[in-house]
Structures are given as C-alpha cells and as structure tokens.
Amino acid sequence: MAELIKNLIDGKWEEAPTGETFESINPANTSEVIASVVKSGKADIDRAVKAANEAYVKWRLLPPPRRAEILFRAAEILEKRKQELGELMTREMGKVLPEALGDVQEGIDMAYYMAGEGRRLQGETVPSELPDKDCKSVRVPIGVCSLITPWNFPIAIPAWKLMPSLVAGNTVVFKPSSYVPVCATRLVEILEEAGIPKGVLNLVHGRGEDSGEYLASHPATQGVSFTGSTAVGEALAQKCVGMGKKVSCEMGGKNAIIVMDDANLELAVEGAVWGGFGTSGQRCTAASRVIVHAAVYNKFMEMFSKAASGLKLGSGLLKQTDVGPLINSSQMEKVLSYIEIGRKEGAKLLTGGKAYREGDCVRGYFITPTIFADVEPSMRIAQEEIFGPVVSVLKARDLEDAIAIANGTKYGLVSSIYTLDVNRSAIAERELDTGIVYINASTIGAEIQMPFGGTKKSGFGFKEAGGRGGALDMFTRWKIIYRDYSGRLQKAQIDK
C-alpha cells in the first residue's frame, strides 16, 4: 500500500478533513504509484495561515543568527540524504539522476547561502546632516508568506523560496505542485528535523486550481512568491498587488541561443543539446530556439541533428539514459500538439517529432528529442512556450538580425550567444532584452548567489535566489531609523 502524504499544520502531520486524496505517479512508469496524497481544501489553508500568523509573533523576534542555525542544520541533513532524495526525485518527477542530484545540490547550496545571511542581512548606516544624530536602514520580515512552487525543480525552487523567507523572519504556508508532493514533504521533514518551531513552516497539498489561488489571495498573508506559467502568474499578480501584498512571480520563457559564424560549433552544439533537451525541455530556462548565422547554418544543423538523434530515452535511474519522460499525459499531449502545429506552419522536421513507446518506455510519457529547421520568427513554435523537448532553429543574417529575432517574443528570461569576438559579445550582453545573458554557455545553469528572473512576460516583481536584488528584497521590508541624541528639537532641512 502506498504511503499517505499528509499536510503539516501547526507542527502536526494530518489528513485533510474532506478525506479526499490524489496519487503521485512515476512519469517514466505510470504503473508505479509513489504515494497517495491528501487533497487540501479551504479549511486546511485557513488553519495553516492562522498557525503561521500565531507563530510569527515569536519567530520574528528570534535573532537571525539563531534562525540561520536551523537552515545550516537542514543543509547538513540534505547533504547526508542527497542520493536518496535524488533517486526519489527521478521516480516522482522523471529527470535523469545526475540532474536530480544537481537539483538537490542547489537546495543544499541555497540552505548554506541563506544560513550565512543570518549574520549579514545588511542595511546601511549613513551620516546625518544634523549634529548628534544618526541614520540607518534595517531589514524586517514582512509576515506570513504564501510559497507556491512548480514540479520541474522539486527541491531547488522550494529552497529558493523557503530559505530566504525563513532566515528573514517570516512564517510560511508552502504549497508545492501536486505532481511532486513527496519531494516537497521530504524537504519539509528535513527542516522540521533541523528544528523549525511549530507553525513557522506549514505545508498544504492540493491542485493549484483548488488551493493555490485561494492561498495566494488569502487576506491574512502579506507576501506571495509563485513560480509557474505566465497566464497563472499574471492573474495572481493582478489580484495580489490589488490587495497590497508583496509579489514575486517567476514565469515562462522562450529562450534563444545565438550561434555566430565565428563560434566554436562543437561547444555550441553541446550547449544547444543541453539547453534544449535537458530535463526533457521542461525548464523555464530551456533553449527552445537556436538562432544560427547563415554562414554556418547548414554545418550546425548537421551536427545538431546528429547529436540529438543519438540521445537515449528511458528511466532516469539508468546510467545510459540521456532524456527522461515528460511529467504527465496532458503535458505530453500539449507538446505533441505543438509538433503538429510546427508541421502545419511549414517548418522542416529534422529529427524526432513523435511519442516514444518502446522497451521500458512503453508505460511512460516519452517524446523523442525534436528539431525543427527553417523556422520563421512569427511561427507559433518560435513564439510560444512549449515546455518539452522541441527546439526551433532560425537563420540570421548577422548579429543585429540575430538579436532582433531573439528579442522578438513576449518573454525575456534567458539568452545566450556563442562567439569568439569580444566586441560582439559586448554588444549582445547590452542589447539582449533578458534578465540573464550567457556568453559561450547554454541558457541552463544559473548560480544561487546571483538574482534570478526575467523581463517582459517572464517575471513580475522581485527576483529569486541570492545576491543584491535577490530574494531577500522580496522577503523583507526596509525600515529607516533616525536617532537624535542631541537633547533638543532639531528640524531637518531647517536648522542651521
């Protein structure tokens, strides 16, 4: 009998009062049920938010270095359980094991990084224009935060949100994707083992349409951090900003790799394969477009097609597997429908383009790595986020044309250029309208010590992860403090 995954509310693991459940399924082998999961209703969320508000009173007063010690212990436990968590992730979400282990490592890195912030959380002290007076700014927590995470990074993205939120002194209601509830539960169990007090971290499971929107717009929460589709993110942002909440939405992408005529083509092909087919293309940073200079277009296409055709599909637990399954049947049908759209639009299908149901893949959601050539910038497959192993290749006359094509979508998350010309790379990093730019590297591979987020329809509000302008700006407010120890009334801008 499958394990029952429960909610954590006010320090107690409990079932939902409705008694309803749903199943977490292995997308590489749909006959394997990972767990049965409680389906939360509004009453569960109300109780979780209430618990978080009550716990906030004491948690915000615990010195940040003490809060950080809990995150440090959580990082140590994550390290010890890395292999176990990686294998669970591969079974529950489908990504190949090396990628799953990297996902866990990102959670570890974020826990250590934000634990360090417990002894920083810097503000600034500046001189006053008046004698016997000082001026400073300090970070303070915002209150109860609703954290809503997707399925494609089951440990990393929750860690991006949980760790900075907690170290800053907020309390949390965390709703993970209903497709990876077991991974989320293991992460919460680790934080609980590390010493998080009851009510500070609450976990509720359920479908996004049933519980996510209700949690995000709950009147007793002060902040919402969401990662998911652009359509859902925009709707949440509009509603929550109107309620006066702080909001961070990390949304879609239609990312491009530019390959110039002087590029190292072997390196560019490796980057395009990793960017396009890593995690089966199920990343907001996936390189779903490759824009190639006309002078090297044919040579690149030959090399790229050969490399993609050699990728092996299968269970991510097998060493020989390069590409795992898609997350579920609806995502698989969506990707197949876009492949058909590409055909009808007149793009040339070079490789892939079909469901793969051979050998051990017969019970999984597999699609062969797919490349379309001769794609026009206006085609839907070059404009819309597919979120699957489908790459559109476009031809560019020169650098200016390539940048115009890259910028010519509603998204602006990540871009990349392969060139050996330092002047070209300088122009590209200035002109590419994306939140992140890579030079001679693929669009996949953000590091946690830098902010993460995009422009246009790829992001709204505060950035994720670390560094100046990162997640701590989302999870704290600035308080400005003036202290006058002169013993007399001084009037700024008036006294001389």
Could you tell me if 183 and 134 are in contact, meaning their C-beta atoms sit under 8 angstroms apart?
A: no
260 and 214 fall within a common domain: no
Nearest by Cα to 225 from 203, 246, 253: 246
CATH code, domain with 316: 3.40.309.10
* 301 CB-near residues (< 8 Å, 6+ apart): 292, 350, 373, 393
And the tokens for 335?
A: 């990707």
243 and 266 fall within a common domain: no
241 and 274 fall within a common domain: no
Using CB atoms within 10 Å of the CB of residue 51, give its burial: 0 to 12 exposed, 13 to 18 middle, 19+ buried. Answer: buried
Whether 449 maps to a domain, the answer reads no
Could you tell me if 409 and 434 are in contact, meaning their C-beta atoms sit under 8 angstroms apart?
A: no
Backbone angles phi, psi at 288, to 5 degrees: -85, -5
pLDDT tens for each residue of 389-448: 999 999 999 999 999 999 999 999 999 999 999 999 999 999 999 999 999 999 998 899
And the tokens for 396?
A: 């560019």
Number of domains the chain is built from? 2
Distance, in Å, from the CA atom of 225 to the CA atom of 231, rounded to the nearest integer, reads 15
Whether 444 maps to a domain, the answer reads no
DSSP per-residue codes, 237-259: HHHHHHTT-EEEEE-----EEEE
Residue 105: Cβ within 10 Å count: 17
Whether 446 maps to a domain, the answer reads no
Whether 128 maps to a domain, the answer reads yes
And the tokens for 314?
A: 């299968």
Residues of the chain with pLDDT under 70: 495-496
Whether 495 maps to a domain, the answer reads no
138 and 268 fall within a common domain: no
Question: With b meaning 16 or more CB within 10 Å and e meaning fewer, what string describes 227-243?
Answer: bbbbebbeebbeebeee
Task: Give me the pLDDT at residue 496, please.
Answer: 62
17 and 56 fall within a common domain: yes
Q: Where are the beta strands (DSSP E) in 319-463?
A: 348-351, 370-373, 390-396, 411-412, 414-418, 436-439, 451-452, 455-456, 459-461
Q: Which residues pair with 5 in a beta bridge?
A: 37
- The alpha-carbon radius of gyration of the chain (Å, integer) is 24
Using CB atoms within 10 Å of the CB of residue 13, give its burial: 0 to 12 exposed, 13 to 18 middle, 19+ buried. Answer: middle
Distance, in Å, from the CA atom of 365 to the CA atom of 323, rounded to the nearest integer, reads 11
323 and 175 fall within a common domain: no
239 and 291 fall within a common domain: no
pLDDT tens for each residue of 175-223: 999 999 999 999 999 999 999 999 999 999 998 877 889 999 999 999 9
Whether 491 maps to a domain, the answer reads no
Domain span including residue 278: 256-439
407 and 390 fall within a common domain: yes
Task: Give me the pLDDT at residue 482, please.
Answer: 97
Residues with catalytic roles: 250, 284
202 and 275 fall within a common domain: no
Task: Give me the pLDDT at residue 495, please.
Answer: 61
Whether 451 maps to a domain, the answer reads no
CATH code, domain with 160: 3.40.605.10
- Give residue 423's Cα distance to chain centre: 32
Whether 453 maps to a domain, the answer reads no
Could you tell me if 408 and 306 are in contact, meaning their C-beta atoms sit under 8 angstroms apart?
A: no
Mean pLDDT of the chain: 97
282 and 166 fall within a common domain: no
168 and 300 fall within a common domain: no
144 and 24 fall within a common domain: yes
Task: Give me the pLDDT at residue 338, please.
Answer: 98
Helix pair 156-167, 64-80: axis angle to 10 deg: 160
